[in-house]
Structure 1
Amino acid sequence: MKQLTRYQPTTAPVSNLRREMDRIFNELIPFSWRLDDNETGMMKWTPTTDMLETEAEYIVEVELPGLSKKDIQINCHDNVLSIEGERKQEHKEERPGYLRSERSFGAFKRSIILPAPILEDKVKATFKEGILRVTVPKAEKSKRKSVPIE
């Protein structure tokens, strides 16, 4: 089944080509710097995130190399887990002979809508070797109760 897309006429076919190429490259590179939505040239950082589900909890793992615990903030409200932080560039080093030096710095925010009710006050997080692991316990499901007919 095909997806319906709103037609948006444009005066510059080259901008459509650029947008499509950006989309393709963003899908190919999971951990990357990308142009922001309004294409101002500002970059944003999207860390790789994995989410697992067990019978009792959700486990979210986020790759955050170069950050420390103090650079990360975790919030949980109304079944939404939000993880945000920022990598800050402390110094810029220019050395003779370097043609290019690539480092990734910037802010990020990930919000994950969890599909089942959770116990917000029991959420736990650990941070080790650049991997943030957030464990979110599920709320107990209400059990079916048989109702006798009188």
Structure 2
Amino acid sequence: MKAVERYSGLTPMETIRREMDRFFDDMTPFSRKPGDGRKLALWAPETDMSETDDAYSITVDLPGVPKEDVEVSFQDKRLVISGERKSEEEKKDEDYIRKERYVGKFVRSFTLPSAVKDDKIKASFKDGVLTVNVPKAETSKPKTVAID
């Protein structure tokens, strides 16, 4: 039995939440002067999570982040993906009209709803996309206890 609810499109409330998130994200670049050297302290890359009977799969978009700057860890049913996108060298003679690309550290954390085989977790990184495959542990069957 699957523990994660299947994605079936956006509800009206999810659509409103996403639009509000986008609104506030769009305001962030204008709270700083372009080229003032400050960067966002934390950002959250876009992530998809899916489930089969045998495993969870987490896919994270990390364009511009080298594999060496990404870390995947697992402890106490919590999968943590963290890293950093470093800023490119800014050209002093250019005035930015709009600057939207996030730089800085990121952390995504997922609490998995069922037991997993933590020694079998696999991660791959290709073309700026991180994919983590987390196999589920076999569920233990109920044990019948004899009454003396």
Determine if the alignment matches structure 1 residue 64 to structure 2 residue 31: no
Q: What is the count of residue pairs matched by the alignment?
A: 121
TM-score by length of 2: 0.68
- State how far apart, in whole Å, the 2-side matches of 1:128 and 1:114 are: 24
Q: Which amino acid aligns with 2:136?
A: K
Q: Per-residue displacement from partner, 1:26-52 (whole Å, max 9, x unpaired)?
A: 1x47xx5786xxxxx954211111100
Measure how far apart 1:143 and its partner are: 2.2
Q: Percent identity?
A: 43
Residue 25 of structure 1, aligned match among 20, 24, 36: 20
Structure 1 runs not aligned, ≥5 long: 1-22, 36-40
Measure how far apart 1:89 and its partner are: 1.1
Determine if the alignment matches structure 1 residue 119 to structure 2 residue 105: no
Q: Which amino acid aligns with 1:139?
A: A
The corresponding residue for 2:136 is 138
**1:84–1:109 CA contact under 8 A, matched in 2:** yes
Q: Which runs of 4+ in 1 moved over 4 A?
A: 32-35, 95-98, 145-150
Residue 74 of structure 1, aligned match among 61, 72, 75: 72
Measure how far apart 1:104 and its partner are: 2.0
Structure 2 runs not aligned, ≥5 long: 1-17, 29-38
